[in-house]
């Protein structure tokens, strides 16, 4: 209570806490990938080089608060790694590690698009 009621949030330049895919339960990985926004993030990230995309550079229909949340979920699922670069935070898809823990899952997610993709 040093400052009335104004909560003092932890400094956000704490290095992002990462979870290695090795320590991720299958349910967590599947849940992380079952959200359309996160799926879009992963796919866009997969189409870019490592450490090339900042968090704000993705084309998803949510505001930055929600976006930040989704990145945290992806981190907790061992899907991405983040690094601070100046004021920005850059991302990398953990292809190899995730593939080792969940063989084929990432590939499935990246190549699958929509059901019934062919003509009717």
Partner DNA sequence: CTAGTTGTTCGCCTCGCATCGAACAGTCTA
Partner DNA sequence: TAGACTGTTCGATGCGAGGCGAACAACTAG
Q: Which of 18, 30, 47, 56 binds a second copy (CB under 8 A)?
A: 30
Cβ-based burial of 36 (10 A; exposed 0-12, middle 13-18, buried ≥19): exposed
* Residue 52 interacts with which of DNA, a second copy, none, CB < 5 to 8 Å by class: none
Q: For residues 15 and 4, give the distance between their C-alpha atoms in angstroms, rounded to a whole number.
A: 28
Should residue 71 be labelled a site residue for DNA when binding is judged by CB under 7 A?
yes
Q: According to the binding rule CB under 7 A, does residue 101 interact with DNA? A: no
> How many residues belong to the chain?
120
Neighbours of 17 (CB within 10 A): 9
In the block, residue with structure tokens 């929509």: 114
Residue 11 in contact with a second copy, rule: CB under 8 A? no
- Which of a second copy, DNA, none does residue 66 bind (CB under 5 to 8 Å by kind)? DNA
Residues that bind a second copy (CB under 8 A): 22-28, 30-31, 33-36, 39, 101-105, 107-109, 112, 114-116
């Amino acid at each position: 209570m040093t400052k009335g009621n104004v909560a003092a949030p932890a400094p956000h330049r704490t290095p992002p806490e990462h979870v290695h895919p090795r320590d991720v339960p299958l349910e967590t990985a599947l849940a992380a990938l079952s959200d359309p926004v996160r799926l879009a993030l992963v796919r866009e990230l997969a189409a870019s080089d490592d450490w090339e995309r900042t968090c704000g550079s993705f084309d998803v229909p949510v505001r930055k608060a929600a976006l930040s949340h989704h990145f945290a979920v992806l981190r907790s699922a061992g899907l991405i790694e983040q690094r601070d670069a100046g004021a920005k935070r850059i991302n990398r898809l953990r292809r190899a590690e995730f593939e080792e823990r969940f063989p084929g899952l990432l590939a499935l997610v990246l190549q699958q698009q929509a059901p019934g993709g062919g003509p009717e």
